[in-house]
Structure 1
Amino acid sequence: MASVAGVALWAAERALRRGRPEARYGRYARWAHPAGRWPVAPLNRVAGSRLLRARGERVPSVAFVSGITDVVHVNHVIDARRLAPLVPAGLEPQCLGERDDRAVLTFLSYRHGHLGPARLGRWRRLLPSPLQSNWRVYVRHARTGVDGAYFLSTAIGRTPHALGARILAEGLPMHVLGRDSRLVVEGGRIDLLPDPGRGSAPAAEASLVPLPERPADGPWRPAVASYEEMPAHCVPQDRALSVQPWRGRPVRQEISLGIPPERCVPLSGTVTSAAARALVGDAEPFAFLIPPYGSVSRRRRTPRCDRGAAPDPAA
C-alpha cells in the first residue's frame, strides 16, 4: 500500500509540474536553500513541490502581523517593455512618464518585528524578527484594472517562514537569506546586504547615507516630474498580485502597511547587485529610507479573486 501511495503522489507531482513549469522568476523559480545546519536536499524537495503548493491553495486565510522597521527602497526606472516579459500573462507594468513608457522595479529590505499570526496576540513577542528582502514590479491586472505589486522574488532570514510562505502564499515566492545578510541603520549610515549564501535568493549590497534635502533631479526624472511623486507611487502598493493560469484568474494578497510616503528620506551612496543588473541593465538606482513610524504592518493571505472580478480593496 505504501508503494502504491508513493507512486500516486509521484504521478500527481509530475502531472502538476506540466501545468506549473519552472520559471526564471516568481513562485515557480528554482529554489535552493543556503545550507548551514539544515538538511538541504529534503528542504529543496519540499519547497519545490507543486503538490504541496496546490494543497496550500486550499488552506484558509490567516492574518499575520509584524512591526517592521528601517524599510530601505532601492528603485530603478526603466523602459516598461523590458519589464513586460517578467510578469505573467494577465498582468502588465504600471506605466509612468509623459509617454507612459517607463516602469519601476524595486528591491526593498526591512527588519520584521516579531512576525507571526495575529491570533497569537501578546505571545507573538516570543517570535523572531527576521530580515526580509522583496523584489517587485508594480503592475496592473489588465482585465480588471486593479493595481498592485508582482513579486519576482522574496527572501527572508528564517527557513520555517520561507517554507510556510512558499507553500501557502501565492504572491510571495519566498527564498532563504544566508547567515551573512544584514541591515544596519545607525549613526547616519545604512549598511545593507541581502546575501543568499549558496541559496537561490537574489543578492545585493548597498552603503547609503541620508541626503540633507530632497533632490531636484535624479534617475526618477523620466518617470515623474518631482521626487515626491516617486515615493507616492512605490510606497502605497499594498496589494500583491499574481495569476493562476491553470484556473484563468488573478490572485491577490492584501498588505496593510499605513506608511506615509512623505516621511521617506532620500538616500545617496553605492548599490551593487548583479541580480538587479540582469533585470534593469544600466539603469541607475536611487534609494530612500522609511524610518520607524509607529505603525504595525498587517499581512493577510486572501482567497482567490473570482473569475473576471476585481478584488475588493477593503477586504
Structure 2
Amino acid sequence: MLALLAVLGLVLSAGSATWAAEHALRRTRQQTRYGRYAPWTHPRGRLAAPLNWVANSRLLRALGERIPPVTFVSDITDVVYVNYVVDAHRIAPLVPPGLELQRIGEAGDQAMLTFLSYRHGHLGPTLLGRWRRLLPSPLQSNWRVYVHHRRTNTMGVYFLSTAIDRTFHALGARLAAEALPMHVLERASLVTAEGGRIDLLLDPGRGTAPDAEAHLHPLPEWPADGPWRHAFSDYEQMLTYCVPQDHALSVQPWYGRVTRQEISLGIPLEACKALTGPVVSTAASALVGDAEPFAFLVPLVKFRFETEGHDPI
C-alpha cells in the first residue's frame, strides 16, 4: 500500500511539474495566426484530442529543440508551384519581428507568396542508406513568403504553414523541425493525367491545414505575360527569384535568435514548365485577396536537408 501511494505521489508530482512548465512556456511562446505557434487541430476532431495536445504543447516543442539535426533526403516528384504577386503591405504583418519581407517590383511595393505541393520519394535520414526505400512517400504542401535577415544579409523563405497527409510525419516535423509549422491533411492527391494535366487536391477536413484545389495544364513555352508582370520583367526573372531557395528562416525571440535551416534543391530553371488553369483556395484568398495565381511545375527534385544554424536577431 505504501509503495502504491509513493508511485501515485510521484505521478502527481510529475504531472504538476509538467503543467507548470507548460503554463510558463505559453507566456513566452504565445499563439500566433500563422507559423509554428498557430493552433493545430487534427482532421479527426475530438477523437484526436491527445494528438492536438501533443502538437500544441510548448514543453514538447522546447524539448524537441534539443534534438540534434539529422540530414534528410527525398526523391521528390511533381512539384507544383502556385504563386501570387501581392501588395507588400498586405502580407508584411505576417512576417515575425527579426525578419523583413522581401519587397519586389520597380517601386518595391510588391511581394510574392507561394504554395508548393509535391510527392515525397521515400523521405528519410541519409544514414538509412538503401533501406530508405522502405519508407513511405507522403504528399506535402509548403506555404511561404520570401524574407530577409538584415543582420546576416541572408535571403530565405518563412513558412506561414506546411501540411502533409501523414499524422506521424506531421507530429515529427512539428516537434523537431523549427521552421516547419506542420499540419495534417485529411485528403491529398497530386495526379498527372494524360496530356500532362495535373489535378491537385489539399483537403484539411476539420483540421487546420490549408486547402486548395487546382486543375492545371502545361503551356508549350514560358508565357510572355501574366500576373507576375506586376513585379518581374520576364518569366525567367520570376523563376530566378522564386526557385533557388536554400534557406528556411524562423525566429525564436525567447533565445534572441533566428534559426536558419539549410537545404539543397539544385533545380535548373530550364526544368520548370509553365502551367495554366483554375486554382481555388480559401486559405490563399485569406492571404492574398483577389491576386491572380500563376503556376509552374518542376518534375523532379533531389531534396536534401543539410543542417541547422542560428544567428542573433
Q: TM-score range by the shorter chain?
A: over 0.9
* 2:305 match: 299
Is residue 2:168 matched to residue 1:165?
no
Q: 2:41 aligns with which of 32, 42, 53?
A: 32
Cα deviations across residues 11-56 of structure 1 (Å, max 9, x unaligned)?
A: 10000001011111000001011129x9501100000000011011
Cα deviations across residues 62-83 of structure 1 (Å, max 9, x unaligned)?
A: 1111000000000000111111
Kindly provide the amino acid, as one letter, of the partner of residue 244 in structure 1: Q
In structure 2, C-alpha distance between the alignment counterparts of 1:246 and 1:26, rounded to whole Å: 16
- CA positional deviation for 1:307: 2.3
Q: Structure 1 33/300 Cα, relative in aligned 2: closer, same or farther at 3 Å? A: farther
* 1:289 match: 297
Structure 1 residue runs of 5 or longer lacking an equivalent are 309-315
* 2:193 match: 186
SS in 2 for 1:258: coil
- CA positional deviation for 1:300: 3.6
Q: 1:60 aligns with which of 44, 56, 68?
A: 68
Kindly provide the amino acid, as one letter, of the partner of residue 307 in structure 1: P
* 1:313 match: none
- 1:1-315 equivalence runs, <5 A: 1-35=10-44, 39-178=47-186, 180-187=187-194, 188-292=196-300, 295-303=301-309, 305-307=310-312
SS in 1 for 2:261: strand
Query: 8 Å contact 2:260–2:311 — kept in the other structure?
Result: no
- CA positional deviation for 1:142: 2.5
In structure 2, C-alpha distance between the alignment counterparts of 1:236 and 1:149, rounded to whole Å: 11
TM-score (norm 2): 0.94
The percentage of aligned residue pairs carrying the same residue is 68
SS in 1 for 2:146: strand
TM-score (norm 1): 0.94
Kindly provide the amino acid, as one letter, of the partner of residue 297 in structure 1: F
In structure 1, C-alpha distance between the alignment counterparts of 2:88 and 2:99, rounded to whole Å: 13
Q: Which aligned segments of 4 or more residues in structure 1 are displaced greater than 3 angstroms?
A: none
Query: 8 Å contact 2:142–2:159 — kept in the other structure?
Result: yes
Higher helix share: 2
In structure 1, C-alpha distance between the alignment counterparts of 2:154 and 2:141, rounded to whole Å: 24
Query: 8 Å contact 1:115–1:124 — kept in the other structure?
Result: yes
In structure 2, C-alpha distance between the alignment counterparts of 1:205 and 1:231, rounded to whole Å: 23
Cα deviations across residues 232-281 of structure 1 (Å, max 9, x unaligned)?
A: 11111111001101111100111111111221111110000111000001
In structure 2, C-alpha distance between the alignment counterparts of 1:262 and 1:12, rounded to whole Å: 51
Cα deviations across residues 268-310 of structure 1 (Å, max 9, x unaligned)?
A: 1000011100000110000001113xx521114514x1425xx
Cα deviations across residues 124-170 of structure 1 (Å, max 9, x unaligned)?
A: 10000010000000110132220101000000111111101000011
In structure 1, C-alpha distance between the alignment counterparts of 2:312 and 2:116, rounded to whole Å: 31
Query: 8 Å contact 1:231–1:262 — kept in the other structure?
Result: no
Kindly provide the amino acid, as one letter, of the partner of residue 31 in structure 1: W
In structure 2, C-alpha distance between the alignment counterparts of 1:106 and 1:306, rounded to whole Å: 25
Instruction: Give the aligned CA root-mean-square deviation in angstroms.
Output: 1.3
* 1:312 match: none
In structure 1, C-alpha distance between the alignment counterparts of 2:122 and 2:59, rounded to whole Å: 30
Query: 8 Å contact 1:71–1:108 — kept in the other structure?
Result: yes
Structure 1 or 2, whichever has the larger Rg, is 2
In structure 1, C-alpha distance between the alignment counterparts of 2:209 and 2:192, rounded to whole Å: 22
In structure 2, C-alpha distance between the alignment counterparts of 1:307 and 1:73, rounded to whole Å: 31
SS in 1 for 2:233: coil
In structure 2, C-alpha distance between the alignment counterparts of 1:285 and 1:162, rounded to whole Å: 27
Cα deviations across residues 92-122 of structure 1 (Å, max 9, x unaligned)?
A: 1111111111110000000000001111111
SS in 1 for 2:239: helix
Structure 2 residue runs of 5 or longer lacking an equivalent are 1-9
SS in 1 for 2:17: helix
Figure out how many residues of one structure are paired with residues of the other and give that number: 303
In structure 2, C-alpha distance between the alignment counterparts of 1:206 and 1:194, rounded to whole Å: 9
Cα deviations across residues 188-231 of structure 1 (Å, max 9, x unaligned)?
A: 20000111111110001000000112111110011110011111
In structure 1, C-alpha distance between the alignment counterparts of 2:262 and 2:218, rounded to whole Å: 30
In structure 2, C-alpha distance between the alignment counterparts of 1:5 and 1:254, rounded to whole Å: 37
